[in-house]
Amino acid sequence: MLKFSIEHPVIISVAILILMLFGILSIFNVPVQMIPDLDARVISIRTTWPGASPQDVEKEIIVEQERYLRRLQGLERMISTANTGKAEIELEFPFSIRVEEALLNVNNALSQVPNYPENVDQPTIRSEAFSSNSFMYFRLMPIRGDFTEEDLLKLRDWVEEYVQTQMERVPGVSSVSLRGGASRQINIYVDPAKLAERGIRLMDLRTAIRARNRDVSGGDLDSGKRRYLLRTIGRFESVEELENLVIAERDGAFIRLRDLGYAELGFGEVRNYAYSEGKPILSLSVSRQIGSNVIEIKQDMLATVEKLNQGILKNKGIELVRTADDVVYVTDAVYVVQRNLVIGAVLALGVLFLFLRSMPATLIGAIGIPICTLAAFLGLLLGGRTINVISLAGVAFAIGMTLDNNIVVLENIYRHLNMGKQRLQAALDGVREVWPAVLAATLTTVCVFLPIIFIEEEAGQLYSDIAIAIAASILMSMIVAITLVPAAAGRLLHSNNGRISMLSRLGAALGRGVIVSVHGLARGILRPLVTITIVLAATFAIIYYLTPDAEYLPEGEESKIFTLMFAPPGYNINMMRDAFREVDKDFIHAVGQDPAIFEQGDSEVPALKFTIGFANQSRVFVVREAIDRRQTEALMQVATDKTRELPGLRSFSSRGSIFSSNFGGTRSINIEVSGPDLDSLFQAGFKVFMKSKQIFDNPRVRSTPSNLKMGQPMVEIRPDWERAAELDINPYDLGYTVWVYSDGAYVDEFFLGDDEIDIFLYSTKGMIKHPQDIEQVMLYSSRGGMIPLSAVAHLKETVNTETIRRVDGDRTITLSIIPPREVPLEEGVRIVRREIIEGMKHSGELSQEINLSISGASDRLNATREALSSNFAVGLLIAYLLMVAVFSHWGWPLLIMSSVPIGISGGIAGLYLLNLGGAHLDKLGLYPIQQSFDMITMLGFLVLIGTVVNNPILIVERAVSNLRKRSMDVLEAVTEAVQIRLRPIMMSMMTTVAGLSPLVFNPGAGTELYRGLGAIVLFGLLFSTLVTLTFMPALLSLILQLAVRFRQPT
């Protein structure tokens, strides 16, 4: 093959061009997004029960559903939450789960629930993955001055029908969520006096409506040649028809609904408000399908929005305005990677030219860069991956590595050419001499990525993109190096004819210094032994003392800040709305202002791109984004301080995360507190909450439920059962009557065209305003006429919780603690375990009945690190076995593998120095750099296995060849190997370092995702190369001398 490629360059060139063509086509067919798609492993179930208390929701829905769901195979965790009117269950499965099969199993399990209360909606089931979270946000707002807030709120159903559906038709869109406004419903208002006058109970009215509001199929009828379908029409087709409904008959006369009150097509209660920059809006957020292209979705969505604005929205006097989108961050991050990729390529080529001092030689060496880059994109397409920041970083990392093989082959051809050989012969001899080393280096680099496919956690899915990109590039670089490079070199290279430049003299002087050092350190037994001892001691000391505590995944330096404000017990939606508007007024003026105003101290709030908030009865959710991302931390602190000024409210602010939920999901330490009863559970939860505030300096702590006191006011209506029996009043009559007069009660569904809307029943006298008024609610009894509720029941005011949370069937409070940024996640877990999990138990602050456990990102950190550690060991074994196969020897690969811990120590030391120096860059007016030791950073160690062994391979392969084929003594064989391989080693190291430098030192959007990985590889390679030039010759010389002394064959 080697001779064929040199003799038939046209065939080789055509084959490479065809491959490049496929690579170019793949660029336009691979979806573009921020991060790789992460497989869904969570299935959520939502069941609504209008008006039901959390206690009833837990008992009647959640407990029943859990009974069947807990049997699901592979279920790792079940989290249930009961709130007023709804039940939510999250099922967590292993990362290896087949989502479609799991969804089917969940649906089958729920179908076994025997029954629900009659007005419970059917459960909705969906799979959840962070990759499909919302990424574009729009606000619908009026463009006419006479458009009131009430007018806007009443547009919800119209927006659902005519706007939301149009947006969901955009290719690649999974769903569009709508917040704000009120839905249409049929409101029936009845007069209690008229009911009493005619002796009709509210339950009679409800029963009459539900009995009539049904269509019934009657089979079919054959008559002659025709077949008729039979259908009894009962559903109400208009409000007038509903008002004409016969409720009862009294004294031979029909009593219709209109005799008792009236019905109208109106609106239900506003369950959530949305505001942008202080103005009421309807908010729409767009989620994408997994595997879709976010840039294409944005283009198509903006075109759809413009069409809507110029059409039906303009006629309504409203418009859709884009509030924010993550595509800007995606575009910026992809641009930064592409820019750094180009800069790295230019720097690598510059280094290559300095060594080769020949433009043709440099171009031959560089010919693999575009080829291997396109091969990486082709690999991503064939692997079903996407173009994202992680995969592009893999392409950029591969640039320096792809030059390695070309450099080794090209430099060796150059050496043979300077020996006076003809160009074609020099090319053939040069590639023949080094192709085993090239093969060994390539296989070790590629095969160490194989274990990644066995890492199922989130980090493993992220690793795959880097692995595919690098592996495809490196494989192609080997093909280019042994085919295209010798073919081109055999026709374009020329001997330097003895010309020696000043740079060459300098390089030669440095080379002589290295050789002298090697000769001195490798001589005898004692010197190599001392050298080896010093290097290994320094290596393991660096690993032991400088290895930082770990993080899980980088959060991504988004400039969005998310704030949650939790209501005190008893707050209603209007109070939460007012609280939000009170805080938000301090931020509205900062929208669009110059960031310099904040820098100068003339504004206490950083300049904002936007501020948008959502309020419901239990919480406020606010999103804000700084114009200058360097002011993001300041914005988060201001948001925290402002919300603390509101009495009674608890707040929680966090920076946006691109890998998980927007509340510190990659740094969250979850403490699960479970106990025998709610009273003791909430007391323990509050103690743990206060303790977590003490053990960290200004942590962000969020609890679920949000209130840790049993403070939700509740009125219990306790009937006198004997008296109720005497008056023929049952508990459902009693409860339903109170529901109607207090909040309005659900009756049935009404079909308005194709839309299904609710029918609600109210009193014409208005709603009950005070708890004590409940006693005066009038009930109708067939045996006693109209009586007050106090005649058959008494009221008991108590307190309870507004949210009940269960984990694996046990009532639980979850505290999510996000330590300060200067406290790594691993250290935070140690502190929590020492001070809370163990400390509070041993000190007696918590009773033995209370159980505490840790979950969240800390669990995923441990699982991922264990998987990475085991696969690192597998990678080492694969690299070793491959080198055994290439060298046909079991011993030499062990010497080569000794360079791996040296590379690891270099990477750790480099990361330490990067953070040490990066923290002071702001003093120079630059953006400070702080890189965490996260799971993506740790992938650098796996990459190092395949890179740091390349240089020792060259030295050992040459030294062994000198011993076997040239009959040199040990010292001469080792020294000559270093002398011959020094130039390609330094070229490979410096080009790789030059290619990686922009990724490590050039900050920008998204760089925090891959900077740590690049730093580990860059500094690990740099350190191991410099140390290996002394350590490896000393080790090799010592082993060979001992082998000769004890007469063992080599």
Q: Do the Cβ atoms of 955 and 977 come closer than 8 Å?
A: yes
CB half-sphere exposure, 172, CA atoms < 13 A: 19
Position 905 pLDDT exceeds 70: yes
pLDDT at 507: 60
Q: How far apart are CA 1001 and CA 812, in angstroms?
A: 46
pLDDT tens profile 819-837: 888 899 999 999 999 999 9
Burial 994-1028 (b: 16+ CB within 10 A, else e): bbbbbbbbebbbbbbbbbbbbbbbbbbbbbbbebb
pLDDT at 359: 83
Q: How far apart are CA 876 and CA 329, in angstroms?
A: 37
Name residue 622's beta-bridge partners: 563, 613
Position 7 pLDDT exceeds 80: no
pLDDT tens profile 714-725: 888 999 888 888
Mean pLDDT of 384-404: 79
pLDDT at 109: 94
pLDDT at 338: 82
Q: Which of 895, 903, 914, 912 is nearest to 941 (CA)?
A: 903
Position 134 pLDDT exceeds 70: yes
Position 353 pLDDT exceeds 60: yes
Q: Residue 259 is encoded by which pair of tokens?
A: 């005799």
Q: Do the Cβ atoms of 1049 and 1042 come closer than 8 Å?
A: no
Mean pLDDT of 861-889: 83
Mean pLDDT of 751-768: 87
Q: Which of 814, 810, 824, 960 is nearest to 895 (CA)?
A: 960
Position 87 pLDDT exceeds 90: yes
Mean pLDDT of 952-977: 83
pLDDT at 1049: 47
Mean pLDDT of 66-71: 94
Q: How far apart are CA 939 and CA 460, in angstroms?
A: 9
First to last CA, the chain: 31
- Global pTM value: 0.81
Position 500 pLDDT exceeds 60: no
Q: How far apart are CA 68 and CA 63, in angstroms?
A: 9
Position 508 pLDDT exceeds 80: no
Q: Which H or E run includes 611? A: strand 608-615
Q: Which of 271, 241, 210, 185 is nearest to 760 (CA)?
A: 185
Q: Do the Cβ atoms of 421 and 432 come closer than 8 Å?
A: no
Position 165 pLDDT exceeds 70: yes
Identify the structural domains of the chain with CATH numbers, from first to last.
1-33+337-494 (1.20.1640.10), 40-128 (3.30.70.1430), 185-267+712-800 (3.30.2090.10), 503-546+889-1050 (1.20.1640.10), 559-655 (3.30.70.1430)
Mean pLDDT of 104-114: 93
Q: Is 745 helix (H, G, I), strand (E, B) or coil?
A: strand
- Among 229-233, 748-752, 926-930, the least confident range: 926-930
Position 750 pLDDT exceeds 80: yes
Helix axes 423-447, 950-965, angle to 10 degrees: 130
Q: How far apart are CA 232 and CA 240, in angstroms?
A: 20
Position 108 pLDDT exceeds 90: yes
Mean pLDDT of 143-154: 77
Q: Is the dihedral of CA 584, 588, 594, 596 positive or negative?
A: negative
Q: What percent of the chain has pLDDT over 90?
A: 21
- Among 129-138, 796-805, 955-964, 986-995, the least confident range: 129-138
pLDDT tens profile 547-586: 999 988 887 666 788 888 887 777 788 888 888 888 888 8
In this structure, what are the phi and psi dihedrals at residue 457, rounded to the nearest 5 degrees? -65, 175
Q: Which H or E run includes 1009? A: helix 1007-1045
Arithmetic mean of pLDDT over the chain:
85
pLDDT at 70: 93
Please provide the DSSP assignment of 108-126 as one string.
HHHTT-----TTPPPPEEE
Mean pLDDT of 442-451: 79
Query: Is-cis flag, bond preceding 699, omega within 30?
Result: no
Q: Residue 6 is encoded by which pair of tokens?
A: 């040199």
Name residue 93's beta-bridge partners: none
Q: Do the Cβ atoms of 995 and 400 come closer than 8 Å?
A: yes
Mean pLDDT of 741-766: 87
Q: Do the Cβ atoms of 297 and 173 come closer than 8 Å?
A: yes
Q: How far apart are CA 917 and CA 935, in angstroms?
A: 22
pLDDT tens profile 116-133: 987 788 899 988 766 667
Q: Is 245 helix (H, G, I), strand (E, B) or coil?
A: coil
- Exposed, middle or buried by CB within 10 Å (0-12, 13-18, 19+), for 782? exposed
DSSP-based helix, strand, coil % in the chain, nearest 5 = 55, 20, 25
Q: Do the Cβ atoms of 318 and 155 come closer than 8 Å?
A: yes
Q: What percent of the chain has pLDDT over 70?
A: 94
Q: Which of 23, 156, 45 is nearest to 91 (CA)?
A: 45
Position 257 pLDDT exceeds 90: yes
- Strands 282-288 and 246-250: what pairing? unpaired
Q: Which H or E run includes 870? A: helix 857-887
Distances (CA, A) of 863 to 1, 95, 452, 989, 1050: 46, 12, 14, 34, 43
Helix axes 1007-1045, 502-521, angle to 10 degrees: 50
Q: Residue 952 is encoded by which pair of tokens?
A: 């020792």
Q: Do the Cβ atoms of 739 and 49 come closer than 8 Å?
A: no
Position 272 pLDDT exceeds 60: yes
The better pLDDT of the pair 1034, 707 is held by 1034
Position 271 pLDDT exceeds 50: yes
Q: Do the Cβ atoms of 470 and 426 come closer than 8 Å?
A: no
Position 502 pLDDT exceeds 60: no
Mean pLDDT of 663-675: 81
Q: How far apart are CA 846 and CA 453, in angstroms?
A: 44
Band of residue 150 on the pLDDT scale cut at 50, 70, 90: confident
- Token pair 């990659």 in the structure block, residue: 666
Q: Do the Cβ atoms of 401 and 477 come closer than 8 Å?
A: yes
Q: How far apart are CA 336 and CA 966, in angstroms?
A: 51
Q: Residue 165 is encoded by which pair of tokens?
A: 């559906």
- Token pair 């011959």 in the structure block, residue: 980
Q: How far apart are CA 769 and CA 788, in angstroms?
A: 17
pLDDT at 131: 62
pLDDT tens profile 608-617: 999 999 988 8
pLDDT at 1050: 45
Position 496 pLDDT exceeds 70: no
The better pLDDT of the pair 365, 211 is held by 211
E-assigned strands of 24-144?
Answer: 42-48, 77-83, 86-92, 124-128, 134-142
